[in-house]
Amino acid sequence: MANEREMKSMERVRQHCMESFGKMLDHHELLGRYLPEPLEKWFESRKLLFRDPPQGALTSRERELIAVAIEITARKPNVAGHTKRAMAAGATVQEIAEVAFLCILLGGMITYVESGQSALRAAEEYAKGG
């Protein structure tokens, strides 16, 4: 049975999930059953890094473009979140395309096939108002 501190941490994890993703993701729920406090701290770190206005040398646009590049290179199946946040922070469809192509050069065409094209489609959709 979780103690009160762990239960509060898990509730904050659920709140972070709702703010970030609009729902509680199954993989966060699973990990939170066993490590709610570290997961809460991970969300807090994520929130600090991507806050607006940003603190530090990088703009929100730059941070999100880097996140898109990392997700594409890691061949994550859903990169729409960071892609749309990059666009909201001022990135263009052309910049997303350049990031995707850079990932092809660094990680191979498979990065585009498995992930980059999803980023580019999300950028086009966002640019059209979707």
pLDDT, tens digit (0-9, with 9 covering 90-100), for 4-57: 999 999 999 999 899 888 899 999 999 999 999 999 999 999 888 888 777 888
Residue 55, in any domain of the structure: no
Same domain membership, residue 64 and residue 38:
no
Residue 96, in any domain of the structure: yes
Residue 54, in any domain of the structure: no
Same domain membership, residue 64 and residue 39:
no
- Which DSSP string corresponds to the chain? ---HHHHHHHHHHHHHHHHHHSS--HHHHHHHHH-HHHHHHHHHHHHHHT-SS--SSS-HHHHHHHHHHHHHHTT-S--HHHHHHHHHTT--HHHHHHHHHHHHHHH-HHHIIIIIHHHHHHHHHHHTT-
Same domain membership, residue 40 and residue 17:
yes
In the chain, what's the furthest Cα-to-Cα distance?
A: 51
Same domain membership, residue 67 and residue 99:
yes
Average pLDDT in the 92-105 region?
Answer: 98
Using a cut of 0.85, tell me whether the model's pTM lies above it.
no
Same domain membership, residue 75 and residue 41:
no
One-letter-per-residue 3-state SS of 101-119 = HHHHHHHCHHHHHHHHHHH
Domain of residue 32: give its range: 4-49
